[in-house]
Amino acid sequence: MCILLAYNIVSVFYAVKAMSTQSNDSVRPIRWQDTELLLLDQRYLPQRQEWLRLSTAPAVAQAIKDLVIRGAPAIGITAAWGLVLSLMQHRNVVEAEQRSRIAEDIKVLAAARPTAVNLVWALERVSRSLQAGRDIDAVIKEAVLISERIQLDDVAANYRMGELGAEFIKPGSVVLTHCNAGSLATGGYGTALGVIRKAWSDGLIDKVYACETRPWLQGTRLTAWELQQDGIPVTLITDSAAAWLMTQKQVDWVITGADRVASNGDVANKIGTRNLAGLCQLHTTQMMVVAPLSTIDPHTSSGAEIEIEQRQGEELTKIGDWDINAGHMHVWNPVFDLTPADWVDVLVTEKGALTAPGSSSIVRLFEA
């Protein structure tokens, strides 16, 4: 009880700090407004900022599938609010049918993105309010409070991880990041970009590079955009230029987020992360993975057990409305890859940073 109370006090401290701090932190992609969920539609960034209004759980699940919102923590927060919408939508249905409809919505939400463990974790937290015989209005009220707490805790955890990760960054450092693990992928501030934001504001980083991150160009469209929003200069590179960059510019750290971390420290993250981690092994560059405890799956013993999502081939063969090969090419399009734990120099969570992460050290995190 004392440990839980202490953690809650720390969580509230960093949440208040996050809300009151304006430096290098202006982007928030998820808003709850009375009976609607508002999502900043990331498919249209950076050309325009468009907010999508959602009022049903299936619509939320489709938005997650369509990459309106992406990034493991943000997906979890969004799914939590999706379940709240389900409760509201079925408020006036008789209890037996109500529970069946809500259960179906939970199933649809859980299937939206199978690799991101935060999704199921958040649904399980909100589902604890669902008890037979309880007044539905009381259930909705509790579910809203839980979802608010999930979102608030995520921002607080990101601020804490930013501080812990920045402690490893020496003055004058050059860092490279992949995909987008910033405010747009979380409740705010970011995991990998949270570390970069903190290290930049502390004057520790000289240069930030971002991989374009094919095929959805999250590095080009999202990471570069949100760093520019917060006044942090960033230099874009093609994914295939990373090895030469490490040779020429002496990159000190590759810093990424994660979509799932197995209990042995293996990391599932955006396709191309393994390439960068392997390159770190060949150069003097170190690999840092930044992820909240909710992204670590204690029930998955190694990366070999993690389902790797496959997406449609047209993501590779189409540029806008232009079909490069008119649909005549076979495509293999895995969204994620696996980085072995022994290629990760530091795993940063809100409960501590682990050097050379492994099963025993991760277990201690959950016991803390």
Q: What is the pLDDT along the chain (368 residues), one digit of tens a residue?
A: 333 334 344 444 445 454 444 468 989 999 999 899 999 999 999 999 999 999 999 999 999 999 999 999 999 999 999 999 999 999 998 888 999 999 999 999 999 998 878 999 999 999 988 876 688 999 999 999 999 999 999 999 999 999 999 999 999 999 999 999 999 999 999 999 999 999 999 999 999 999 999 999 999 999 999 999 999 999 999 999 999 999 998 899 999 999 999 999 999 999 999 999 999 999 999 999 999 999 999 999 999 999 999 998 888 888 778 888 766 788 999 999 999 999 999 999 999 999 989 999 999 998 87
**Residue 279 carries which side chain, given as an amino acid letter?**
L
pLDDT at 328: 76
CB 359 within 8 A of CB 300: no
**Residue 305 carries which side chain, given as an amino acid letter?**
E
pLDDT at 326: 65
Closest by Cα among 17, 23, 67 to 222: 67
Residue 221 is classified by DSSP as I
Q: What is the CATH number of domain 10-158?
A: 1.20.120.420
Tell me, yes or no, if 206 is annotated catalytic.
Answer: no
Tell me how far CA of residue 208 lies from CA of 133, 167, 267, 326, in angstroms.
54, 17, 23, 38
Name the CA radius of gyration of the chain, rounded. 20
**The CATH number fitting domain 163-367, selected from 3.40.50.12780, 1.10.1740.110, 3.90.550.10, 3.40.50.10470:** 3.40.50.10470
Q: For the range 135-141, what are the long-range contacts, defined as Cβ-Cβ under 8 Å and sequence gap of 24 or more?
A: 136/87, 136/91, 136/98, 137/91, 139/87, 140/84, 140/87, 140/88, 140/91
Annotated catalytic residue within 41, 252, 259, 297: 259
Closest by Cα among 233, 154, 155 to 196: 233
Paired with 235 in beta bridges are 209
Q: Which residue is associated with the tokens 């109500």?
A: 98
pLDDT at 19: 45
Domain boundaries, the chain: 10-158, 163-367
Q: Are strands 205-211 and 346-349 parallel, antiparallel or unpaired?
A: unpaired
The pair of structure tokens assigned to 307 is: 């389902």
Closest by Cα among 216, 238, 219, 217 to 227: 219
CB 223 within 8 A of CB 234: yes
Instruction: State CA 222 to chain mean position distance.
Output: 13
Backbone angles phi, psi at 290, to 5 degrees: -120, 120
Task: Report the alpha-carbon distance of residue 189 to residue 165 in Å, rounded.
Answer: 13
pTM of the shown model: 0.89
The pair of structure tokens assigned to 354 is: 């682990």
pLDDT at 24: 81
